[in-house]
Structure formats: structure tokens, C-alpha cells
Copies of this chain bind each other. A is one copy, B any other.
């Protein structure tokens, strides 16, 4: 048995590592899936892009750190943010060992004012990103796959849209994220039958075609009706 004093002595002998969080912040605009990136400020990665990240503070857990980074750069608190994976290759950071836990977030890129801090913080179209710093290319791949899976299982696409949106806009989100084309009629039917969309009785305006109805997502209904079904399928 190890008493409290011994336990503290034991833990204090463990090797320690600097921890960071990186936020992969997805947005949607102009019918493309985008992600928020800065230019790396490390000379070794000159001109290369990286995610928003920071080291984890002393008394801070990882969720808190990720929310802090998000808030600092987009002004946003309560957006969807979820831990995806922890990356730990000993040589992933050129300045020594750094372990990073990656969080993904989805938000409407028009609703949040970017707080620029000398790093050319900008939205980049996900499938046009070329060179990234650190292992961030790999992180982007993991997060993109995570997102593709996630939007099929949970109603997260709505986080990427304004509160009121047309069915076309919703379909565009799915098509962009999943990189597929969907049948318009079947798509509408599906979402209509789910019963999670509220008709606002408003329409699109200033569009150069027949305006579509605007809907809101009914989170209450979703909470009540969501499936807890079992389906073995692989």
C-alpha cells in the first residue's frame, strides 16, 4: 500500500510533458466547408498553416483550455466543441516533445467575428489546403473523417448554418462535408419525416430564383424523438 506522501513522491518522479490543445474550427460559407487557420509563427514552418492552439495552463483541464482558445479567437463561448484525439509522436514538435489534444468545433462562419492577432487568421476551404505545419495535415484528415461520421449520426450540420436556413442550404452542408451529391426530393422527404424542422413562415429574399422556405432546427423535438436504436452494420 502506498500512502498519500509516497504517492505524491511517486507521481513527482514521473516524466512530465508540455500539453497543448489545438482547435479545428470548421465553418461553412459559399457552399464550402472551411476551417480556421493561422500562419505558423515558427521559422521552421515558414508560411505553413496551422490550427489555433495554446498550451494548457496549470490548473486547467483540456476542455477548458480548448474553450478558452476558441473564445480568444472567435469571441464564442457556447459553441459545439468536442475532443477528438490526442497526438503524441515524440518528434511532432520541432522544439521538443509536446503532446496535443485536438478539439473540433463547428460554427457559422458569418456569425463570429474573428479576432486577428498578427497571424493572418483566415478561413480556408478544407479541400484546398496544401501544406500545414507540425502534424497538422494528419490532424486535419482525422478531424475531417470525424466530422463526416458525426454529421451522419447527430444533427450538427445546423451549427454551421444561421438560425434560419433553407433546405437547399442544409443540403449544401451535407454535400460539402460528405463530398457527395444527394437527391433533392429524397433529402427533403427525409428531413420532413424526421420532424425536427420548424417552418418559420419566412422565405429567402433577394434570390434570383423562386425563394425557398426558411426553417429552424427544433432541438426539443430532437431530444425527445432521437433514436436509440441498435443496428449492426459493417
Known: A83-B85, A95-B10. A19 touches B17 (CB 8 A): yes
Expressed in whole angstroms, the Cα–Cα distance for A233 and B153 within the complex equals 6
Q: How far is the CB of A190 from chain B (nearest CB, A)?
A: 7
Number of chain copies forming the complex? 2
Structural contact, A231 and B152, CB atoms closer than 8 A? yes
Give the residues in chain B near A174, CB-CB below 8 Å.
232
Which of A3, A231, A233 has most chain B Cβ within 10 Å? Answer: A233
CB within 8 Å of B: which A41-96 residues: 41-44, 46, 55-63, 83, 85-86, 88-90, 93-96
A230 at the interface (CB under 8 A from B): yes
Contacts A8-B95, A90-B61 hold; do A15 and B17 have CB atoms under 8 A apart? no
**Contact size range, A:** 35 or more
1/0 per residue, CB under 8 A from B, across A2-22: the answer is 111001101110111111100
Select A7's contact among B2, B7, B15, B44, beta carbons within 8 Å.
B44
Extra 7 A-B pairs, beta carbons < 8 Å, given A11-B93, A227-B234: A1-B42, A7-B42, A19-B19, A59-B97, A62-B99, A178-B230, A222-B234
Sample 25 A-B pairs with CB under 8 A, ordered by A number.
A1-B41, A1-B43, A2-B42, A4-B44, A4-B94, A4-B95, A7-B94, A11-B93, A11-B96, A16-B17, A16-B18, A16-B19, A17-B19, A17-B56, A19-B99, A56-B88, A59-B90, A62-B86, A63-B88, A86-B86, A86-B101, A151-B232, A152-B230, A153-B233, A226-B234
